[in-house]
Amino acid sequence: MTYHARLNLIMLTTIVGLVIFLYIRPQSHEVQEYRISSLSAEAARSIQILHKDTHMVLKKAENHWHLTEPINARADEKKVTQLLEILSAKSEHRFSLTDLDRFSLDKPNVRLSIDHESFDFGGLTPVTNQQYIATEESVFLVSPRYAVMLPSQPIKIVSPTLLAETETPVSFELGDVSIKKQAEDWMISPENTEQLLNQAEINHWVELWQQVTASNLILDSEILDIDDATLAEKEIKISLQNGQKIKFNVLQHGSELFLMRSGEAIRYVFSGNVGKSLLDPYYISNEPILFED
Residue 23 included in any domain: no
If asked whether residues 223 and 262 sit together in one domain, one would say: yes
Q: Is the pLDDT of residue 292 over 60?
A: no
In this prediction, residue 251 carries a pLDDT of 87
Q: Is the pLDDT of residue 128 over 50?
A: yes
Residue 15 included in any domain: no
Residue 26 included in any domain: no
Residue 238 included in any domain: yes
In this prediction, residue 229 carries a pLDDT of 52
Under a CB-based contact definition with an 8 Å cutoff, are residues 33 and 141 in contact? no
Report pLDDT digits (tens) over 252-284. 887 889 999 998 889 999 988 899 899 988 886
Domain that holds residue 207: 169-286
Under a CB-based contact definition with an 8 Å cutoff, are residues 158 and 74 in contact? yes
If asked whether residues 141 and 175 sit together in one domain, one would say: no
Report pLDDT digits (tens) over 221-243. 776 555 555 554 578 999 999 99
If asked whether residues 95 and 192 sit together in one domain, one would say: no
Under a CB-based contact definition with an 8 Å cutoff, are residues 86 and 149 in contact? yes
In this prediction, residue 148 carries a pLDDT of 94
**What percent of the chain clears pLDDT 70, i.e. is strictly above it?**
82
Q: Which of 157, 181, 199 is the last residue of a domain?
A: 157
CA distances (Å), origin 218, targets 26, 71, 110, 214: 61, 12, 23, 10
* pLDDT tier at 94, thresholds 50, 70, 90: very high
* pLDDT tier at 88, thresholds 50, 70, 90: very high
- Stronger pLDDT, 72 or 192, i.e. the higher one: 72
In this prediction, residue 227 carries a pLDDT of 52
Residue 2 included in any domain: no
In this prediction, residue 84 carries a pLDDT of 97
Report pLDDT digits (tens) over 130-162. 999 999 889 999 999 999 999 999 999 999 999
If asked whether residues 150 and 173 sit together in one domain, one would say: no
If asked whether residues 55 and 138 sit together in one domain, one would say: yes
Instruction: Please provide the average confidence, as pLDDT, over all residues in the chain.
Output: 84
In this prediction, residue 6 carries a pLDDT of 47
Q: Which of 135, 157, 179 is the last residue of a domain?
A: 157
Residue 199 included in any domain: yes
Residue 187 included in any domain: yes
Report pLDDT digits (tens) over 193-227. 677 888 899 999 999 999 999 999 998 777 655 55
